[in-house]
Structure 1
Amino acid sequence: MGAFDCDVLVVGGGPTGLTLALQVAQAGASVIVCDKEADVFPLPRAAHIDHETLRIFQSIGVAEDIAATCRTTERYDFLNAAGKVLLSFPGADRIAPGGWPAANMIHQPSIERLLRRRMEEQNGAELRTRWTYLGHDEMADGVTAQFATDRGEAQLRAKYLVGADGARSPVRSAAGFGLADLGFDEPWLVIDVVVHDQDRLPKSNLQICNPARPTTCVLMGEGRHRWEFMLLPGETAEEISSEASVARLLEPWNVSGAVTIERTAVYRFNARMTKEWRKGRVLIAGDAAHQMPPFAGQGMCSGIRDAANLGWKLGEVVAERASDQLLDSYQAEREPHVRATIASAIMMGRLVCTTSRWSALVRDLKFALGRALGKIPGGPATFAAMSSRAILSGSPMAGHYFPQPVAADGALFDDDVPAGAWLVGRDLPPLPGSLAAVDIADRTIEPFADAIAAWLASYDIEAALIRPDRYIFGSGSPTDLIAAWERSLRGDAGIRSESVGNQPTWDAALPDRPISMAG
C-alpha cells in the first residue's frame, strides 16, 4: 500500500476529538481531524467540566483561556418539592486535586473555538471541516477512510482511526461496535438563556426533585444559564417547546426581563455503552463509546478523560516506543470509571425523575433519616484504582490519580515540568528518552519540592512514575520503576510489583484539598 496521510485519523471535531488530536500531536505523531460541519455548533450543549478536565486542557495549552470563560458556584443541591435539601455537594468552587476548581460551568462553543485555534498552532495536527465520513476499510498495517467533501469524494490513509463522532457515531456503526442500553431514558426540555441581570438568578446549581415537574437549574459560562424540565406522561416535544409553555415554565423563577432565551430543545437523556471500544486499528471515544444522563455533569469530562488516556498511548505506539498491545489497556482502564460515573448519574437521575407523589414522599423520608444518621453522600462518586498492563499492579498508589501541586502564588506544578511521563523522586538515575526526571532536589521545582516530598513520605514511597495522563503507573525504587515501565510499553504480560506495601484506598489518594504550598 501507499504512504500514510497521517499516523492517526480522528473523525469528529468536538471537544473529545480535538483534545485527542492535540494529545497525539504533542506525543510526536501526525494527526488529521475530519468534521462534517464547517464551524462549531453555536449553541450550548455540555454545561460543566471538572478539575481533572481542566488539567487535561492545561496539558495542551488552553486551560487558562478556557477557565476565563467559566463560572464557579459553591454548591450543587438536590431539593424536594418543599425546598428541603435531599442531597448536597458543597465546595464545588474549591481547588481540587487536579489543581483547578472542582466544578466549572462552561459555554461549550467557546471551548471548541479555543481548541480549534490551538489546533492551528500545533505542529503535526490538522483539522479538515466539511469532510463527512462515509466508511472505512481496514488492512493489516492501517485504515483507509472515505469522505464526502465539497470537492467530491476523498480518502485518507492512517495507521489508526478513532471515532469521536458523537452518540450517533457513523464510525461505531461501520465498525460494528455493539451498543448496550443501561436502563435510563427520559425526555427533557432544555432552555438556554443569555443573562442580563445575574442578581435575579439562583447562585447555586439546583435539582428540584418535585414529582409535579422535575426541574434542573444550573449556571453556565459566558453569561448564560440553563433550565431543564422533564416531560410528563402524555406531553409532546412540540407542546412543551411552544412559546406559551416555555413562558409558563419560567414564570415561577421570576426572570422576565433578566434573561433572553437563546434556544429550546427536547433531548432524551440516555445511558448507553458500547461493548467494545477497540477493534483492530479502529477505536472510539467520548459519546461514541458511552452516553450518560447529565445529572452528574460528567458527559464531556468522560470524553476528555478518554482522550487523555488514549492520546498518549497512540503516540507511543505509532512512534514504535510501545507495542500495539498497549492500546488494549484503554478500555480496560476507562470502562470501569465510566460505568461508575454512569451509575452515579443514573442514581441522581432517578432521585430527580420521580413523578409519583407517594414514591417522592418515601424518598424524602429516607433521605431525612439518612441525613439524621449522617449516611448521605457528601460528594460525587469516587473511582477504584485502575489496573491493566499499563499499571504496575501491587505497588502503593498504582492506578491512582496524581494530584497537581499548587504553589503559594498560585503557580501550577505541571507548567514547570516537561510533558510526557515523569519519574518523581530524589537523586534519580539517568533516564531513558521516554521519561522526564522530576527530582525534588532540582531548584527549578523548588516551590513544589516540600509538597511532593511530603506526598511521597505520606505513602512511604521512594519514587513514583507518573504517566502522561497523570495517573500513577507505580511506585518503588527508581531503577525498578524504569524497568517495569519499559516492560509495560513492550506489552509484557503480568507486570506486577513484588513489594506491595500498604495500598491506600481511593479516598486516601484523593484528599479534600490538593497538594498545596499555600497552607
Structure 2
Amino acid sequence: MNDHYSVAIVGAGPVGATAANLLGAYGINTLIVDREPDIVDYPRAAGVDDESLRTFQTAGLVADILRGAIQNVPLKFFDAAGNCLADIRPTTCDYGWYKRNIFMQPIAEAALRRGLKRFSHVRTMLGTEMRHLVQDKDGVTLHLVDEQGKQQEVRADYVIAADGGRSPIRTLLGIPLEGATHSRKWVVIDCANDPLDAPYTALHCDPRRPYVCAHLPDDHRRWEFMLFPGEDAEEMLTPDRVNDLLRHHVRDPSVVNVIRARVYTHHSRIATRFVEGRVALAGDAAHLMPPWAGQGMNTGIRDVTNLCWKLAAIVSGEADPSLLDTYTQERRPHAQAIIDLSTTLGRILSPTRPSVARARDWFLRAASLAPAVKKWTLEMRFKPIPHYRTGFVVPESPGTRVPSVGRMMTQPMVETSDGIHLKFDDVLGPWFAVIGFECDPLAGLTSTELAAVRRLRPQVIKVVESRAGERHHRQPCAAKETLVVEDVHNELRTWFQARGRNAVLVRPDRYVAAMSTVDDFAPALTRLADRFTGKS
C-alpha cells in the first residue's frame, strides 16, 4: 500500500474527480479520498457548459459525460402571467461545444469515477474521511480514517481541497470566506415521469412565489421554489406540502414521481485566498454562489483545469513551485465575477413585491427591444469569460486590436494529413502547444531559444487554409515533429486575422499564454520558458 503521493485530492465529487482524471492523464501519482462510500444522489448541479466540456475532452471523457446529457438547452425568463421576458439560446460554439447543456450529476460523477480506472497511478479511497492534515516544507501529512475506524497516514507533495462548501480543510487552514448568506431558502424537488412539454430551463419571476422549472434528461424535471418567512423548511418537504407546491403547475401531482426534495440556503461567498502553502482550494471549498447562472460546478471545473497542469509540472520537476502562485491570481477574480452574475440573476428572479416585479418586467421588455441588447442576451454574452491579465502569461501591449492573451483559444475543426477531421484540442494534445497560422511558429529561433522552448514540451502545429495543397503541407519546419493541419471551415483564419498575429503559445488549459507575429515570437516564448522553470 502506497503511503506517498505526488498529489492527494480530498473530495470525489465532480470537481475532485475531474482533477484526478486530469492528473491521471498527465501521468501524476495521485490519491483521491472521499468520506462517502457512494455517489450522493440528492439535487445538486444540473448544468454543464462549454468550458467544462472542453476540460472533459482533455481528460478523454467528454463522450461519456454527453451520453447522458441534453445539449444546447435554452434558458427563458417568464413574468407572472407566463409571458416570456427573455429567451437565451446561444448558437455559437467558440470552444467546440454548446454553451448550455443539462445533465444528471450522479450519472456524470459515475462516468468520472469510471474514468479513474484507466490509470494505475491513481488510487481511489471511498468511505474514507480526512480527519487532519499537517504541512511542512517538504509536503503534507494527511490523517485518514476508513469506515471500519482503521487509521492511516499518507504523505503528499501537494493537496487539492475539493471537500465542499463546509470544507474541513479550509477551516483547518483558517482561510475565511468573504461575502454574504442569503436570507431566503429554496426547496428543490426532482421528479421522474415529467408531465410537461417544456424542453428548456425556465426562471419564473412570479412575485406570488418565484420558482424555477427545468427539463432534465431521461424524462426528469426539477422545480425550485422560494420559501417565505415563517414557512418551516422541514414541513415544506412533507409529501402534502410538496404536492401543494406542484399543484399550481401540474394538473395532477399524483402522476409525478417525486424522487427527492431538499431545502437549500444560498450563499455568495469566496475564500480570501485559494492557496495556503502546499494546499489549494477548489470548487465549493473556494467559492459558493446561488444556482441561477448554473455556474457553481462549472466554476469548480475551471479551477482544477487551471490548477492541475501547474501541479503536474511542479511535482514532475519541470516547473518551479512558484508557478502555483498564479492559481489565486488567475482564478479568484473570475470566480468573484461569476458569483456576482449569479447573485444578480437571483435579484432579477426573486422580487415578491408586485410593484417591484412590474418595474423589472417593464425594464426587461424595454431592454430586449434594442438589437444589441437582444443579441447580447441571446448569445449569453453576459456570462463573464475568464481573462487572465496576470499570472502565467505575457501581456499584450496596450492598444492591441483584439486582446487574446489570457483568454481561451478557439476550438474549430481541423483536418489532419491523413484526411481525418478532429476538434482542434485533439490535435493539440494535453500539454502546451505552439501554433502558427500559415507559418512555421518556430522559424527564426536560435538553437538556444529552441532549447528554452522545448522545456515546455509543446506540440508544434502549423495551420494552413482549407484545401491549401501539397506545397503548403510539405514546406520544411524548424521542428521535425511539427504537425500540419488544415483549417476546415477557415475559422482559425478569421480568428488570427482579427488579431493581426500569426503565432500563439497555448497552455494545457487552452488559454493563450503569448501571441505575436512569428518574427517577434522568440522573446515571449523564452520569457515564459524561463518563468516556467524559475530562471526569471
Q: 1:277 aligns with which of 271, 274, 290?
A: 274
Q: 2:168 aligns with which of 154, 158, 170?
A: 170
| Letter aligned with residue 514 of structure 2 | G
Output one character per residue of 1:347-369: Cα deviation in whole Å (capped at 9) or x when no partner.
Answer: 10011111112221222222233
Aligned residue for 1:514? none
1:221 Cα deviation after fit: 2.8
Aligned residue for 2:396? 394
Output one character per residue of 1:6-25: Cα deviation in whole Å (capped at 9) or x when no partner.
Answer: 11111000111111122223
| Letter aligned with residue 351 of structure 1 | I
1:271-310 correspondence to structure 2 within 5 Å: 271-310=268-307
1:219 Cα deviation after fit: 1.8
Contact 2:184 2:228 survives alignment (8 Å): no
For 1:358 and 1:491, how far apart are their aligned partners in 2? Answer: 60
Contact 1:389 1:491 survives alignment (8 Å): no
Task: Say whether 1:488 aligns with 2:510.
Answer: no
For 1:28 and 1:457, how far apart are their aligned partners in 2? Answer: 36
SS in 2 for 1:132: strand
Aligned residue for 2:426? 415
C-alpha spacing 1:148/1:4, structure 2 compared with 1 (3 Å): closer
C-alpha spacing 1:251/1:29, structure 2 compared with 1 (3 Å): same
Aligned residue for 1:133? 130
RMSD over equivalenced CA pairs, Å: 2.2
SS in 1 for 2:248: helix
Aligned residue for 2:367? 370
1:290 Cα deviation after fit: 0.3
Contact 1:15 1:112 survives alignment (8 Å): yes
Contact 2:72 2:98 survives alignment (8 Å): no
Contact 1:273 1:289 survives alignment (8 Å): yes
- Which blocks of at least 5 consecutive residues in structure 2 are unaligned? 398-402, 443-449, 465-472, 474-482
For 2:491 and 2:360, how far apart are their aligned partners in 1? Answer: 44
Aligned residue for 1:330? 327
1:38-437 correspondence to structure 2 within 5 Å: 38-91=37-90, 94-149=91-146, 150=148, 152-182=150-180, 184-195=182-193, 200-254=196-250, 256=252, 259-373=256-370, 375=373, 377-378=376-377, 379=380, 380-383=382-385, 385-394=387-396, 396-406=403-413, 411-425=422-436, 426-429=439-442, 432=454, 434-437=457-460
1:183 Cα deviation after fit: 5.4
For 2:181 and 2:266, how far apart are their aligned partners in 1? Answer: 11
For 1:435 and 1:449, how far apart are their aligned partners in 2? Answer: 25
Contact 2:435 2:462 survives alignment (8 Å): yes
Q: How many residues get paired?
A: 487
1:253 Cα deviation after fit: 2.3
C-alpha spacing 1:176/1:255, structure 2 compared with 1 (3 Å): farther
Contact 1:416 1:444 survives alignment (8 Å): no
For 2:62 and 2:385, how far apart are their aligned partners in 1? Answer: 24
RCO (CA 8 Å, sep 6+): is it higher in 1 or 2? 1
| Letter aligned with residue 460 of structure 2 | A
Contact 1:269 1:292 survives alignment (8 Å): yes
1:208 Cα deviation after fit: 0.6
> Mean Cα displacement is larger for which, 408-417 or 247-256?
408-417
Output one character per residue of 1:112-164: Cα deviation in whole Å (capped at 9) or x when no partner.
Answer: 11111111112421111111010111111100010111351111101111110
Contact 2:268 2:289 survives alignment (8 Å): yes
Contact 1:309 1:330 survives alignment (8 Å): yes
SS in 1 for 2:510: coil
Contact 1:70 1:104 survives alignment (8 Å): yes
1:447 Cα deviation after fit: 5.3
